[in-house]
């Protein structure tokens, strides 16, 4: 049975493995329905999508039509002005055929100029608060990629009391001392405020090599070795405050479910270092050239 935990201060007991619905964004309806049936059978009760995840929201519509009350439903807006964020939220509700979502998140809020627009009068934060007051959303979060994002989340939480954050978390990234320090500071603040902490890129192996012609179901190359996936998943779930969002490569969902259902055995630092060496794991982000995805 998948482990459960309180999702911050929302009052929801979420499975610590959250279904990242980017994984269905480019599928046919039939294939998406098969994947969602697997999600349902596994007992996952938290779905995380975004307006920008291809047709993910549209493909969720039929599934949610008879199951909405069973799921904590989260989506994201990449808009920064209030009017645009409100319009994108309303489109998301229509696409999914729902009257409200549990969580709306500001998607990848990392650039300083976009941050200023989002928090300014008439910006996205103000509009999402209004949507919350109107009952269109219950909670508001913020997400992001890259090594700068934990620091930006700290800045965002200083300006607004977000209910959740989302950022990359894996051993290769945490080998960067500055990144690890920012993550630790962010986790400490979130724990003190009851802010839910979601993680992504747990099973990332690195960026695809230009000459690698294998099928690509995510923008980065994931780990596929069952032992390595198990250790990567338990590296996250071994931390009581963290949730793990599944990869956009939905073919790996069975491996992730097996790992999350296995008796928890957090790997040692030496085991994670050995995986870096054996599988050639490299950080997805570096604060410079690799920040763009």
| Bridge partners (DSSP) listed for residue 143 | 166
**Local mean pLDDT, 10-residue blocks, the chain (293 residues):** 96 98 96 98 98 97 97 98 98 98 98 97 98 98 97 98 98 97 98 98 95 89 98 98 97 98 97 98 82 70
> pTM of the prediction?
0.96
Q: Which residues of 175-197 are buried (b: 16+ CB within 10 A; e: fewer)?
A: ebeebeebbeebbebbeeeebbb
Q: Which residues of 32-52 are buried (b: 16+ CB within 10 A; e: fewer)?
A: beebbeebeebebbbbbbbbb
* pLDDT computed for residue 289 by the predictor: 65
Residue in the block written with tokens 């996250």: 236
* pLDDT computed for residue 146 by the predictor: 95
* pLDDT computed for residue 290 by the predictor: 66
Q: Please name the helix (run of DSSP H) or strand (run of DSSP E) that holds residue 241, with its range, or none.
A: none
Q: 3-state SS of 120-166? A: CCCEHHHHHHHHHHCCCEEEEEEECCCCCHHHHHHHHHHHCCCCEEE
* pLDDT computed for residue 72 by the predictor: 98
Q: 3-state SS of 175-195? A: CCHHHHHHHHHHHHHHHHHCC
* pLDDT computed for residue 1 by the predictor: 87
Please provide the CATH number assigned to the domain covering 4-281: 3.20.20.100
Question: At residue 249, what are phi and psi to the nearest 5 degrees?
Answer: -90, 95
* pLDDT computed for residue 213 by the predictor: 87
Here the tokens at position 17 are 């493995």
Domain ranges of the chain: 4-281
């Amino acid at each position: 049975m998948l482990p459960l935990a309180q999702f911050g201060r929302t009052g929801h007991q979420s499975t610590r493995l959250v279904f990242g619905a980017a994984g269905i964004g480019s599928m046919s309806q039939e294939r998406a329905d098969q994947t969602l049936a697997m999600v349902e059978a596994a007992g996952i009760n938290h779905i995380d999508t975004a307006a920008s995840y291809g047709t993910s929201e549209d493909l969720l519509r039929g599934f949610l039509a008879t199951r909405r009350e069973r799921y904590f439903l989260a989506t994201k807006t990449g808009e920064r002005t209030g009017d645009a964020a409100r319009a994108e939220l309303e489109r998301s509700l229509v696409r999914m055929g729902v009257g409200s979502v549990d969580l709306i998140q500001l998607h990848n809020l990392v650039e300083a100029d976009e941050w200023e627009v989002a928090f300014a009068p008439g910006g996205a934060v103000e509009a999402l608060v209004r949507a919350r007051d109107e009952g269109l959303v219950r909670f508001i979060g913020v997400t992001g990629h890259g090594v700068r994002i934990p620091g930006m989340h700290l800045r965002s939480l200083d300006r607004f009391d977000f209910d959740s954050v989302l950022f990359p978390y894996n051993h290769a990234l945490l080998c960067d001392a500055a990144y690890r320090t920012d993550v630790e500071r962010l986790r400490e603040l979130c724990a003190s405020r009851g802010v839910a902490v979601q993680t992504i890129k747990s099973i990332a192996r690195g960026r695809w090599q230009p000459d690698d012609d294998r099928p690509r179901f995510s923008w980065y190359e994931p780990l596929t070795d069952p032992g390595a996936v198990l250790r990567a998943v338990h590296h996250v779930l071994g931390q009581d405050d963290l949730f793990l969002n599944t990869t956009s490569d939905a073919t790996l969902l069975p491996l992730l479910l097996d790992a999350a259902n296995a008796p928890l055995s957090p790997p040692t630092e030496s085991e994670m270092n050995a995986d870096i060496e054996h599988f050639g794991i490299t950080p997805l982000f570096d604060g410079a050239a690799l920040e763009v995805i």
